[in-house]
Amino acid sequence: MILHQEPFWFLNTKNTSYVIRVLPNQTLQHIHYGGRVSADDFSYYNVFQDRAFSPRILMGPICTSHDIMPLEYPTFGRGDFRAPALRVEGLDGRDVNELQYKSYEIISGKVHIPRMPQLDVNVDDVQTLAITLEDVIVGYEVVLYYSVFENEDIITRTVEIRNTSNGAIRINNIASLSVDFESADFDLVSLEGSWARERHICRRALCQGTTSLESRRGSSSHQMNPFLALADKHTSEHWGGVYGFSLIYSADFKALAEVSQYGDTRVQIGLNPETFSWKLEKGDSFMAPEAIMTYSDKGFNGMSHNFHQACRNHLGKSADPSVKHPLVINNWEATYFNMSDEIIKQFLDDCKGLGIDTFVLDDGWFGRRCDDSSSLGDWFVDENKFSNGLHNVVNHCRENGMEFGIWFEPEMISRNSRLFEEHPDWCIHCEGVEPIPSRNQLVLDMSREEVVDHIFEQMAKIIREYNVSYIKWDFNRNLTDNGSSTLPADRQKEHTHRFVMGVYSLMQRLNDTFPEVFFEGCSGGGGRFDFGILYYMPQIWTSDDTDAVERLKIQYGTSMVYPTSAMVAHVSACPNHQTGRSVSFDTRGEVAQMCNYGYELHVGKLATEEKEKIKGQVARHRALDELVQKGTFYRLNSPFDSILCAWELVSEDKEKAYVCATFQTAMPNAKTFYVKAQGLDADCKYYVKPLGITLGGDTLMQAGLPVRMPDAVEYACLAFDLEKVSE
Ligand code: GLA
């Protein structure tokens, strides 16, 4: 997998190669990333030239410049004017750096990044290349780690800075990866959006200059996902070359693609240098968050499959085979803050016999919380609403055959709360200035251990007392007033990273103490949908937008990087609370079926016919659940390009598949679409329900399934279940 053939290293996965070389002047040069190549002598590649306004360096007889070379981990100030991956300031305050090769090591398995989410460390079939470089100006060491996951066609990367110099240094920028491509003939694909319309797919052509995707919100954000893809111009969902980059991190990031004057492209992803800087004392070290990179020549679906496999096979709780995703009903859109013993008991009575696994009691059960203006941080039961703690509710829940789940927003504090009265300094704030509220709330300084301890104790008490089996973990605002009253002046810019490490430590501690509790991530819906959270929590509430039609784009876009096993979708009431749209109960159910499934409505207020449908939908989800958890997901028809959105799940053994096609609008006299399945056994026959016919896998993939918009039905959804038949 990792081959060292001096001066080259070849990092090979099943279908890809990544090639690096060390030059005679000890600079690390990037040679190739993409499809598999032989371990050839690549000395012929990237021949150097001398160019105007690109400062010269002499390498033996050759005159060249860092500015035109593909570099493996570029720095600032020694002739490369493109984006540096690393900027480290020495004792004298200067940040001119030059990295030279020192040594390398091939490790079996991976190195552990302390206090951070990451892909499995102890993996038998993974090797890690660790290349140590030394900065010849400031005097620190850099270790570049490349972990090669052969089967998933992914390589993870992290970077360690070891302060081997004589005094304190400061890291002002540290990308987790940097890759230089010799061409700029790419489209850049990102997942952008906003609250209630997360992760819409955006594709644009690259041109000279820098395209930067980032968050400085203290979370990975609704607005931009920590992901970037570079695709060949003609790459489609099913074919063509595409590179994908993603950061395993839940706070500020920056991803960029820079096209230089010579038409090459540099890609980086890592911590956002605008809100990050780290002082490193002599002898200390720092490790960057882990990044995942992948290449596929099988289009965007191929790239997505690699990300999905990495998550399902190797990412903490998301890869834990003992985890079962329960089918839930949540009371949020049914009752909002209006809850009491009576209201919730009635709600539960209405759910009786529907086959739902878990009831989740959402926001409003604690402190004196009657609206969003108070009580965050007071994680004790509101006795005005619930007379006997939550015992009545929990007992009633169990009597109705459901487990009990509950909502927390652990990182927050309301000004109007007991916690604030006791610890007014625990919120993130600038001394002497009123912190900026958002949704009437402030953020706890999770970089402080005593804050994390206090929240842990409160949560643990509730979990134990009520035998909680499920926690929905929310995060309903972004960070302002950045910094901490406990950090010295020269460490204030470490705060966002320390904040998220504090959050991770709380998540880890809860996972360790309550391994049987199931955690669902949430941040005003999908405002923190990233691999960092998915390490601790196997699923995330995809969006606060529960409108089935809007969900088509959200779920389709989210699947670019994240597997269906990570997404949650609920059937909610109509007219929809976010968009005001009315969509049939059937379409609402079917659109949600590709995710971890559930309900978020007042069953008692449904028409009898709709209530009856729930049982059928629940049974349907039981039948589809294995596909959701383990199946291969294909995007078939894009809702960003067409009125028809279609996707498919295929079982690992190709015995079963599920195709779902939904119209985003009404169109009079619309044509019939033929949706072509993917990933089936071409040589086998499949029975197609509800068409009642048997067709070859080849026919289904080449000719397709007929999808005709029924007359006078808006937002129609057609689902096909395919089952292999033996002839
Ligand atoms: C966020 C979540 C919702 C709900 C509310 C409660 O917006 O995304 O699902 O839990 O908070 O306040």
- For residue 108, what pLDDT is reported? 95
Tell me, what's the pLDDT at 479? 98
Q: Structure pTM?
A: 0.98
Answer yes or no: is the C-beta of 566 below 6 A from any ligand 1 atom: no
Res. 61: pLDDT tops 80: no
Tokens representing 99 are 């990295």
| Cβ neighbours of residue 24 closer than 8 Å, sequence gap 6 or more | 59, 60
In this structure, what are the phi and psi dihedrals at residue 328, rounded to the nearest 5 degrees?
Answer: -120, 160
Q: Which of 120, 363, 544, 545 is the catalytic position?
A: 544
In the sheet with 28-35, reading across from the earlier edge strand, the strands are 2-5, 8-12, 16-22, 28-35
| Distance separating alpha carbons of residues 404 and 365, to the nearest angstrom | 13
DSSP annotation of 235: -
Mean pLDDT confidence for 19-26: 93
- Whether 120 shows a pLDDT value over 70: the answer reads yes
pLDDT band at 576 (very low <50, low <70, confident <90, very high): very high
Q: Are 443 and 479 in contact (CB under 8 A)?
A: yes
Q: What residue's CA is closest to ligand 1, atom 6? A: 363
359 pLDDT more than 70 = yes
The pLDDT of 311-324, averaged and rounded, is: 97
CA distance 359 to 337: 16
- Tell me, using a 6 A CB cutoff, whether residue 359 lines ligand 1: no
The ligand 1 atom at the shortest distance from the C-alpha of residue 362 is: 10
Ligand 1: does its nearest atom lie under 6 Å from the Cβ of 406? no
The two tokens of residue 322 are 């003992």
Q: Check residue 17 and give its pLDDT.
A: 98
522 pocket-lining for ligand 1 (C-beta < 6 Å): yes
63 pLDDT higher than 80: no
| 474 is known as an active-site residue | yes
Q: Using a 6 Å cutoff on CB, does residue 405 contact ligand 1?
A: no
* Residue 409 Cβ contacting ligand 1 at under 6 Å: no
Average pLDDT over residues 675-686: 98
CB 13 within 8 Å of CB 294: no
How far apart (Å, rounded) are the C-alpha atoms in residues 250 and 342? 38
Q: What is the pLDDT of residues 517-531, one digit of tens each?
A: 999 999 999 999 999
Which of 24, 112, 18, 17 lies closest to 60, judged by CA?
24
Contact status, residue 658 vs residue 722, Cβ threshold 8 Å: yes
Mean pLDDT confidence for 633-646: 97
Burial grade of 149 (CB within 10 A; 0-12, 13-18, 19 or more): buried
Please state, in angstroms and rounded to a whole number, the distance separating the CA atoms of residues 552 and 581. 14
The CA distance from 648 to 637, in Å, is 10
Cα–Cα dist 675/711, whole Å: 19
Q: What is the pLDDT of residues 450-481, one digit of tens each?
A: 999 999 999 999 999 999 999 999 999 999 99
Residue 460: strand, helix, or coil = helix
Judge whether residue 669 has pLDDT over 90. no
Residues 666 and 651: beta-carbon distance below 8 Å: no
Q: 366-374 — which CB contacts under 8 Å span 24+ positions? A: 367/414, 367/417, 367/418, 369/337, 370/337, 371/337, 372/337, 372/439, 372/440, 372/441, 373/414, 373/416, 373/440, 374/414, 374/416, 374/417, 374/440
Q: What is the pLDDT of residues 604-618, one digit of tens each?
A: 999 999 999 999 999
- The pLDDT, as a whole number, for residue 344 is 98
Q: How confident is the model at residue 727 (pLDDT cuts 50, 70, 90)?
A: low
Take atom 2 of ligand 1 and give the residue whose Cα is closest.
524
Q: How far apart are CA 275 and CA 480, in angstroms?
A: 11
For ligand 1, mutation pick of 335, 360, 362, 601 (most atoms within 8 Å of CB) = 362
User: 565: CA distance to ligand 1 center in Å?
Assistant: 21
Task: Examine the pLDDT at 255 and tell me if it is beyond 80.
Answer: yes
pLDDT at 330: 98
Q: Which residue has the tokens 């081959």?
A: 3
Active-site option among 120, 474, 625, 721: 474
Cα 713 versus chain centre, distance? 35
Distance 140 CA to ligand 1 centre (A): 46
Give residue-wise pLDDT tens across range 398-412.
Answer: 999 999 999 999 999
The pLDDT-based confidence of 44 (bands split at 50, 70, 90) is confident
- Please give the number of the atom of ligand 1 that sits closest to the Cα of 522: 8
pLDDT in tens, 563-573: 999 999 999 99
The CB of 545 under 6 Å from ligand 1? The reply is no
Cα 557 from Cα 547, distance rounded (Å): 15
* Residue burial 286-325, b: 16+ Cβ < 10 Å; e: rest: bbbbbbbbbbbbbbbbbbbbbbbbbbbbbbbbbbeeebeb
pLDDT higher than 90, residue 165: yes
- Neighbouring-strand partners of residue 633: 649
One-character DSSP codes across 171-220: EEEEEEEEEEES---EEEEEEEEETTEEEEEEEEE--SEEEEEEE-SSSS
Q: Which of 330, 361, 476, 551 to mutate to test the pocket of ligand 1 (most atoms within 8 A of CB)?
A: 476
Ligand 1 contact via 563 beta carbon (within 6 Å): no
CB 244 near ligand 1, within 6 Å: no
> What is the reported pLDDT for 47?
63
d(CA 158, CA 505): 20
The band of 34, judged by pLDDT with boundaries at 50, 70 and 90, is: very high
Kindly report, residue by residue over 682-699, the tens digit of the pLDDT.
999 999 999 999 999 999
Q: Is any atom of ligand 1 closer than 6 Å to the C-beta of 525?
A: yes
pLDDT score recorded for residue 50: 78
**Tens digit of each residue's pLDDT (9 = 90 or more) over 227-236:** 999 999 999 9
d(CA 531, CA 525): 16
The pLDDT confidence band at residue 122, using thresholds 50, 70 and 90, is confident
DSSP codes, 74-124: -BSSSS--S--SEEEE-TTS-----EEEEEEEEEES----TTS--S-S--T
Spatial contact of 87 and 75, defined as CB atoms under 8 Å apart: yes
Specify whether 512 is catalytic: no
Instruction: Yes or no: say if 569 and 581 are a contact pair by the CB < 8 Å rule.
Output: no
The gap between the terminal CA atoms of the chain, to the nearest Å, is 42
The pLDDT of residue 56: 83
Distance CA 638, CA 630 (A): 22
Statement: residue 88 has pLDDT above 90: yes
Q: How far is the CA of 375 from the centre of ligand 1 (A)?
A: 15
**Cis preceding linkage at 690, omega within 30:** yes
Q: What is the mean pLDDT of residues 310-330?
A: 98
pLDDT at 48: 67
Place of tokens 């990933």: 679
Alpha-carbon distance of 637 to 301, in angstroms, equals 12
Please tell me the distance from the alpha carbon of residue 596 to that of residue 330, in angstroms, as a whole number.
13
CA of 362 to the centre of ligand 1 (A): 8
- Non-local (6+) Cβ contacts of 614 within 8 A are 354, 599, 603, 606
Instruction: List CB contacts of 505: < 8 A, sequence separation 6 or more.
Output: 115, 452
Distance of CA 49 to the CA centre of its chain: 41
Residue to mutate, 198, 544, 572, 601, ligand 1, most ligand atoms under 8 Å from C-beta = 544
User: Is the model's pLDDT at 426 over the cut of 70?
Assistant: yes
List pLDDT tens digits, range 383-399.
999 999 999 999 999 99
CA-derived radius of gyration, the chain: 27
Mean pLDDT for all residues in the chain: 96
Residues in the chain: 727
Model confidence at 18: pLDDT above 80: yes
CA distances from 367 to 364, 407, 666 (A): 8, 13, 47
Cβ of residue 332 lying under 6 Å from some atom of ligand 1: yes
Which residue's CA lies nearest to atom 11 of ligand 1?
Answer: 524
| Side chain identity at residue 117, one-letter code | P
